Amino acid sequence: MMLLSMKIRKSEVKRTVEDLISKAVHKLYGLDNLNIEIDIPENENFGDYSTNISFGIAKTLDKIPFQIATEIAHEALSENPQIEFEDSLYSIFGKIEPHAPGFINFTLCDKFLFHNTADINMGDKSYGSSDLGAGKKIIVEYSQPNTNKPQHIGHARNNFIGSSLSKILSYCGYDVVKTNYVGDIGIHICKSMLMYIKHGNGRQPDKKSDHFVGDFYTMYEQEFEKNPGIEKEAQELLRRWESGDAEVRAVWEKMNSWVYEGWKKTYSEQKVEFDVWEYESEKINVGKEIAMLALEKGLAEKDGTGAIIARLEKYGLPDKVLLRSDGTSVYSTKELQLAKESFEKYKFDKRLYVVDMRQSDYFRQLFKIIELLGFDWSDRLVHIAYGMVSLPQGKMSSRTGLVVNADDVLEDLISLEEEEIRNSIKTPKIVRETAERVALAAFKYGMLKVDPKQDVVFNYEHVTKFEGNTGPYLLYTYARAGSVLEKAGFEIDGEKFRYESMPKEFSMHPKERALAAVLVHFPEYVLKSSKEYAPSQIANYTFEVAQKFNSFYGELSILDASSESLKKFRLFLSHATMIVLRQSLGLLGSEVVEKM
């Protein structure tokens, strides 16, 4: 008999299945080091976990998969792990069965599901967390806005992905450093500066200050259409900035401070934070050293004009200029330097760049150059490429004027949610506060539920609905469960409520079982999400939890359960659901509300 200590983490159920199979296969056939894959079957008839191991080894063993499955299932069942709960031992799996044509299906017993539900109630804030990443450092760089205009809806997706990934990785035990690398200088910044100098008359912002600056950038684009010559003036400004011209620097500082002031509000309303801010203006010409090293290593060469160019053709990538012919460094060279400094400072195990997928080739070049420079940490760099955000009326474009500002989106969503909840909440202040949370959840969930690689069509009508796969639906489910608990006067009381107090013939109703079982998988989805750098994994899991709860809620009465102990069990389940919803929404960057 295999005995597991009482401290077994529920996140290890899947690993327990792996161990069990691995040992059985070793004992029966002497096979080791197999890649054992454990599935969570969608079809409830196939148990809580399943494996296809029999197919993989059938040829080696010259046996029929079903026979192998039968043998392994039999062996695994005889080693059915025992776990201690309430001062006695019980076996985790109710059934371990072979299934044609050769799967092995594992079904958790009711008592384990009860046990896990009780543990969630006791463990509260830590359920689903792990120490997978203990002692490992991950830098997550995201947002990277430019100081010439306010943030649009595409930045919002970036902010939400980066911020959520950071939370997920922290939850898995990694030491995470959230970094923002601001593009605070360059020709694009000088464009809005130019217009302010020409037409601003020293005005102070009369609206949100980053929007105020953005208006001058728009003004530039309009004027450029009529008079392309003004680009030279912008370039001249950049030259003056680089030479340290006091007048230009003063305008630059003033306008950038306005932008930062505006962003502060944007980030605060989005509940997006950073540990470290880096500024491009502080990296001016820092790339020379890197460029020289590249020359030395022979991966770059000087061309006729004096520019230094990394030759990447033989690696299937376009060549990349490192130093311009005038000797100044380009953006990518600064980024190389930044990566190097970052590694020297943090000795990171991973560095994630959350940047939209248009820059995929660029990052491939960047990472290749770092590898060719001989830095052995080049394989720790990861580009988290995400797709574009578009609207039902089409893709965004500054030319057609269809650019949606992130602040405006959130404000619109808040208004929509205020209308939704005005009926159930009467105090205006509470309406506003609640609407803010619901709107942010709608916004974030709408962005995060989609796989990062996919483009997103962001539909206001859709994401703010209280029904369907939306943030508000999840919050509604949470509030609904909370309302029942409140009515019952329920308080967590794990010590007094024991499995033994359940009726002798107790077996879970299918709806109870489905809910309790889906809760077991939370830690597994957190891990999966962290490995794939995909918050969408947690998002879709969370929706499944909400569906299972509502289905349970619709079918069975909690407060009028047939016995006190059954009622208490259902309250336990409801409370455990709330904890999982709260934790997973938290990992997606959203807060729950008690009433809505």
Partner RNA sequence: GCACCCGUAGUUCAGAGGAUAGAACGCAGCGUUGCGGACGCUGAAGUCGGGGGUUCGAGUCCCUCCGGGUGCACCA
Window 134-193: residues binding RNA (CB under 7 A)? 146, 183, 186-188
Rounded least distance, CB 169 to RNA, Å: 17
Q: Is 357 in the site for RNA (CB under 7 A)?
A: yes
Smallest gap, in angstroms, from Cβ of residue 552 to RNA?
8
Q: Which amino acid is at 344?
A: E
Residue type, 550: N
Q: Which of 378, 528, 586, 591 binds RNA (CB under 7 A)?
A: 528
Contacts of range 291-298, beta carbons closer than 8 Å, 24 or more positions apart: 291/322, 291/323, 291/329, 291/333, 293/373, 294/322, 294/369, 294/372, 294/373, 297/372, 297/373, 297/374
Give the angle subtended at the CA of 403 by the CAs of 397 and 407, to the nearest 5°.
155
510 binds RNA (CB under 7 A): no
Residue 278 within binding range of RNA, rule CB under 7 A: no
Residue 48 touching RNA (CB under 7 A): no
The answer to the question of residue 387 lying near RNA (CB under 7 A) is yes
Distance (Å, whole) CA 214 – CA 220: 10
Question: Which tokens sit at 108?
Answer: 């958790």
Stretch in the footprint of RNA (CB under 7 A) among 22-30, 113-121, 406-414, 518-526:
518-526
Where residue 271 falls (left for φ over 0; alpha for ψ -120 to 50; beta otherwise) is left
Min. distance of Cβ 493 from RNA in angstroms?
A: 18
Binding residues among 86-115 for RNA as defined by CB under 7 A: 99, 101-103, 105
Quick one: 85 or 523, whose CB is closer to RNA?
523
The smaller minimum CB distance to RNA, of residues 63 and 480, is found at 480
User: Which residues in 553-592 contact RNA (CB under 7 A)?
Assistant: 553-560
In the bound state with RNA, the residue whose beta carbon lies nearer, of 85 and 317, is: 317
Question: How far apart (Å, rounded) are the C-alpha atoms in residues 168 and 89?
Answer: 34
Do 288 and 253 contact (CB within 8 A), yes or no?
Answer: no
462 binds RNA (CB under 7 A): yes
Footprint of RNA on residues 470-489 (CB under 7 A)? Answer: 472-473, 476, 479-480, 482-484, 487
Nearer to RNA, 133 or 523 (CB): 523
Rounded Cα distance, 425 and 217, in Å: 42
395 binds RNA (CB under 7 A): yes
**400 lines the binding site for RNA (CB under 7 A):** no
- The residue (of 218 and 550) whose beta carbon lies closer to RNA is 550
Positions in 61-80 near RNA (CB under 7 A): 65
Residue 530 to residues 44, 169, 214, 279, 535: CA-CA distances in angstroms? 26, 6, 36, 28, 8
**157-193: burial string, b at 16+ Cβ within 10 Å, e else:** bbbbbbbbbbbbbbbbbbbbbbbbbbbbbbebbbbbb
33/305 with CB nearer RNA? 305
Question: What would the x/- binding string for RNA be over residues 416 to 455, using CB under 7 A?
Answer: ----xx-xx------------------------xxx-xxx
The least distance separating RNA from the CB of residue 202, rounded to whole angstroms, comes to 27
- Contact segment (CB under 7 A) with RNA among 85-93, 168-176, 355-363, 405-413 equals 355-363
- CA distances in angstroms from 295 to 310, 311, 437, 469, listed in the order given: 8, 10, 53, 54
Query: Going by DSSP bridges, is the β-strand pair 381-386/394-395 parallel, antiparallel, or unpaired?
Result: unpaired
Minimal distance in Å, beta carbon 536 to RNA?
6
What minimum distance in Å lies between the beta carbon of 6 and RNA? 25
Phi, psi of 226 (to 5 degrees): -85, -35
Write down the least CB distance from residue 474 to RNA, Å: 11
